[in-house]
Homo-oligomer: A and B are copies of this chain.
């Protein structure tokens, strides 16, 4: 087993030339370094014949670049993050990069630990959905010259590349949509979080409510986990009977909320109209189909890779950060119309 992998040294010895020559030819520097055409051809032919490929480890060690990007998200099994993972994969491989993933579970301590682990592991760049209070770690990465792009959330205090969506604007539109459909008591059901993607959604809701001279009904679910979320939302609806419209700021909340409403015998959309952030395959299957804000996954992935590759590209290293704020799409379905 395990026939030893050929090294550049083996090639050189067999062909009776120097390692340097082979290396130059391999790296397309034959012309520049004045290696004769004849020898170049000969070496190339032999390399092809034996199917030699250079050791990336050795290259990484020598060049100080490992061609690895860390994709650090809240939870890789979450459909949103898994979808992005899928979409960036191809672009990364096309550019010779590998992607290592890891999940923070939105815990700051875990995120910091992961960042330290990977810093030491000679990765080149990080794509991160930051947890709360991660500013210092992130600044550390920048100081040490790692590539870095934030997404889903950004940090107002840190000047760096990011890819986010128009949270406030979309939340405004979703709320206004419910109001336009005749809702008078529109509730916001969100998670208790001070992270900017959530506070922006809250802002959008509040703006729409106040512009229409309505009263806000904000419910922030604490300690978010499936079972607890369901119970809390059930309580909320029991205690707030007049609600006729709900905007959920994440699809998980919507799933739980819809089930709670179902069990309370609340008719959607007859009695309560519903809109959710983060569209999902299942919203289109649900009865009624759920109106939802769709994030532009492909575009997010594209911009993420554009931003990170841009940073890792030697030539453009010291051009400024790339910051993208992308538009969402409100997919209007039965839950807010019939």
Which residues from chain A sit less than 8 Å from chain B, CB to CB?
1-3, 53, 55-58, 60-61, 66, 68, 75-79, 82-83, 85-87, 89, 93, 98-103, 117, 120-122, 142-145, 255, 258-259, 262, 281-282, 285-287
B1 pairs with A145, CB closer than 8 A:
yes
- With both beta carbons as reference points, the residue of chain B lying nearest to A54 in the complex is identified as B120
- With both beta carbons as reference points, the residue of chain B lying nearest to A262 in the complex is identified as B287
Q: How far is the CB of A270 from chain B (nearest CB, A)?
A: 15
Contact of A102 among B56, B93, B281 (CB under 8 A): B93
Q: List 10 A-B contacts (CB under 8 A).
A: A1-B144, A1-B145, A76-B82, A76-B85, A77-B83, A78-B82, A79-B79, A100-B100, A255-B281, A255-B285
- With both beta carbons as reference points, the residue of chain B lying nearest to A123 in the complex is identified as B98
Number of copies: 2
Bound-complex Cα distance A224 to B56 (A) = 37
- With both beta carbons as reference points, the residue of chain B lying nearest to A117 in the complex is identified as B93
- With both beta carbons as reference points, the residue of chain B lying nearest to A122 in the complex is identified as B57
B262 pairs with A122, CB closer than 8 A:
no
- With both beta carbons as reference points, the residue of chain B lying nearest to A71 in the complex is identified as B101
Bound-complex Cα distance A188 to B328 (A) = 39
A99 pairs with B98, CB closer than 8 A:
no
Q: Which residues of B contact A85 (CB under 8 A)?
A: 76-77, 82, 101
B82 pairs with A1, CB closer than 8 A:
no
A58 pairs with B61, CB closer than 8 A:
yes
B77 pairs with A98, CB closer than 8 A:
no
Bound-complex Cα distance A82 to B66 (A) = 25
- With both beta carbons as reference points, the residue of chain B lying nearest to A145 in the complex is identified as B2
B66 pairs with A75, CB closer than 8 A:
no
Bound-complex Cα distance A2 to B127 (A) = 19
B53 pairs with A57, CB closer than 8 A:
no
B117 pairs with A89, CB closer than 8 A:
no
A89 pairs with B61, CB closer than 8 A:
no
Q: Which residues of B contact A102 (CB under 8 A)?
A: 89, 93
B103 pairs with A86, CB closer than 8 A:
yes
Bound-complex Cα distance A1 to B78 (A) = 35
- With both beta carbons as reference points, the residue of chain B lying nearest to A287 in the complex is identified as B287
Bound-complex Cα distance A255 to B281 (A) = 10
Bound-complex Cα distance A121 to B58 (A) = 10
Known pairs A2-B144, A3-B144, A77-B82; A120 contacts B287 (CB<8 A): no
